[in-house]
């Protein structure tokens, strides 16, 4: 185990996609400061998405954002408010046509924190009673392709729209050889090894199973990088058809000019044609997720971060010229205060 621990530490500090956030984001903080100085306001980014508090930088309601999307791309969902009697939760599920399995996610989310696939009424009751915050309850979308698509809709330019990042997600899995246990297979896979403690807690009864030779064992249902999902650069999929399809969707969303859809669809053609189900729409801190592809590397990733902060700056400045204000420092402090109070609740 000591060897495994040293190996994971080495990978974490020498591989771009695994660097601790406070390390990898240091140059990005510099990019932000440069554009904040150019805009002469530390909260300049809030003008990019006037429909979202702080433009989607912190503490926004994911449910409120989703309500702005056209119904054709939305899954069935309901909001379980903190402290809501469980009988009312069940009524909300019924009235919105929801059944098990479903996904429960905090209304104020962060990198997949507390997102869970729920398969029964008892599991839902336990999950909601354990965490005293608002939860989005969303239908389980059984579609094979999960992706993120980042867009920029330039205000005041009716023909200017860009899709700047497509990320395709590959779920964590290992392949059996008919000899080693699932635990041994996990330890032998660099990506899966980072998830060992979590997987042992979630699937303790499976760790000593021996998968057959060639058998693929999927190790999760949630497509988050922090849960071991591999992010693959899908920018080669950006073409005229994809841009047109997403522009039609984005022009129906009032007050959001920069954002990233996290979505599911049947296949690449469905993605290109906009036949999607959107699980979440992130604002200004929706990163170009394709940069976490292992083949991208730090240098190219930082070029992409710079490019996208420049886009946020351009959109924000364009909106300010159209009379849209920037959040005040007082509003920013209050949003931050509420966010950390929320985080304390979860502790």
Q: What is the pLDDT of residues 163-187, one digit of tens each?
A: 999 999 999 999 999 999 999 999 8
Q: Residue 168 pairs with which residues in a beta bridge? A: 147, 232
Confidence of residue 6 (pLDDT cuts 50, 70, 90): confident
Per-residue pLDDT, averaged over 26-41, amounts to 97
- Looking at the fold, whether 31 and 149 belong to one and the same domain comes out as yes
Q: Is the pLDDT of residue 345 over 80?
A: no
pLDDT of the residue at 14: 73
Do the Cβ atoms of 230 and 239 come closer than 8 Å?
no
- Looking at the fold, whether 21 and 112 belong to one and the same domain comes out as no
- Looking at the fold, whether 207 and 310 belong to one and the same domain comes out as no
**CB-based contacts of 123, cutoff 8 Å, min separation 6:** none
Q: Is the pLDDT of residue 211 over 80?
A: yes
Per-residue pLDDT, averaged over 284-304, amounts to 94
Do the Cβ atoms of 51 and 254 come closer than 8 Å?
yes
Neighbours of 2 (CB within 10 A): 6
Q: Is the pLDDT of residue 113 over 90?
A: no
How many domains are there within the chain? 3
- Looking at the fold, whether 316 and 246 belong to one and the same domain comes out as yes
pLDDT of the residue at 222: 78
Cα 138 to chain centroid, rounded? 15
State how far the Cα of 217 lies from the Cα of 220, in Å rounded to an integer: 9
- Looking at the fold, whether 309 and 247 belong to one and the same domain comes out as yes
Of the listed ranges 12-21, 133-142, 145-154, the one predicted with least confidence:
12-21
Tell me, yes or no, whether 319 lies in a domain: yes
- Looking at the fold, whether 252 and 325 belong to one and the same domain comes out as yes
Tell me, yes or no, whether 5 lies in a domain: no
Q: Residue 278 pairs with which residues in a beta bridge? A: 263
- Looking at the fold, whether 146 and 126 belong to one and the same domain comes out as no
Tell me, yes or no, whether 310 lies in a domain: yes
Last residue of a domain, one of 220, 253, 279: 220
Tell me, yes or no, whether 7 lies in a domain: no
Do the Cβ atoms of 99 and 93 come closer than 8 Å?
yes
- Looking at the fold, whether 146 and 179 belong to one and the same domain comes out as no
Q: The domain containing residue 119 runs over which residues?
A: 76-140
Tell me, yes or no, whether 4 lies in a domain: no
- Looking at the fold, whether 44 and 106 belong to one and the same domain comes out as no
- Looking at the fold, whether 277 and 340 belong to one and the same domain comes out as yes
Q: Please give the model's pTM, rounded to 2 decimal places.
A: 0.92
% pLDDT > 90, the chain: 73
- Looking at the fold, whether 152 and 254 belong to one and the same domain comes out as yes
- Looking at the fold, whether 306 and 255 belong to one and the same domain comes out as yes
Do the Cβ atoms of 69 and 346 come closer than 8 Å?
no
Which CATH number fits the domain that encloses residue 110?
3.30.1490.20
pLDDT of the residue at 1: 53
């Amino acid at each position: 185990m000591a060897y495994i621990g040293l190996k994971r530490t080495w990978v974490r500090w020498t591989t771009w996609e695994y660097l601790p956030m406070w390390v990898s984001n240091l140059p990005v903080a510099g990019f932000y400061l440069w554009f904040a100085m150019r805009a002469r306001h530390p909260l300049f980014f809030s003008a990019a998405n006037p429909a979202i508090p702080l433009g989607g930088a912190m503490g926004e309601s994911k449910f409120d954002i989703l309500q702005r999307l056209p119904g054709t791309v939305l899954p069935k969902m309901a909001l379980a408010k903190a402290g809501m009697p469980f009988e009312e939760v069940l009524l909300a599920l019924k009235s919105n046509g929801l059944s098990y399995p479903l996904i429960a996610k905090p209304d104020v989310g962060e990198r997949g924190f507390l997102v869970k696939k729920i398969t029964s009424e008892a599991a839902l009751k336990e999950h909601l009673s354990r965490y005293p915050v608002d939860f989005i309850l969303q239908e389980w979308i059984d579609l094979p392709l999960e992706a993120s698509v980042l867009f920029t809709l330039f205000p005041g330019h009716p023909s200017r729209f860009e899709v700047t990042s497509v990320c395709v997600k590959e779920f964590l899995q290992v392949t059996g050889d008919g000899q080693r246990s699932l635990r041994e297979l996990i330890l032998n896979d660099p990506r899966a090894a980072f998830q060992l403690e979590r997987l042992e807690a979630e699937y303790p009864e499976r760790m000593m199973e021996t998968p057959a030779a060639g058998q693929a064992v999927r190790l999760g249902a949630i497509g988050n990088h922090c849960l071991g999902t591999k992010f693959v650069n899908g920018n080669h999929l950006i073409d005229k058809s994809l841009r047109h399809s997403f522009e039609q969707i984005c022009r129906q969303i009032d007050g959001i000019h920069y954002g990233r859809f996290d979505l599911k669809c049947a296949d690449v053609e469905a993605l290109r044609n906009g036949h999607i189900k959107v699980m979440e729409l992130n604002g200004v801190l929706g990163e170009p997720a394709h940069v976490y592809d292992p083949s991208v590397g730090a240098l190219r990733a930082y070029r992409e971060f710079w490019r996208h902060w420049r886009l946020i700056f351009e959109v924000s400045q364009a909106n300010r010229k159209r009379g849209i204000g920037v959040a005040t420092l007082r509003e920013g402090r209050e949003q931050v205060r509420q966010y950390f109070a929320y985080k304390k609740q979860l502790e």
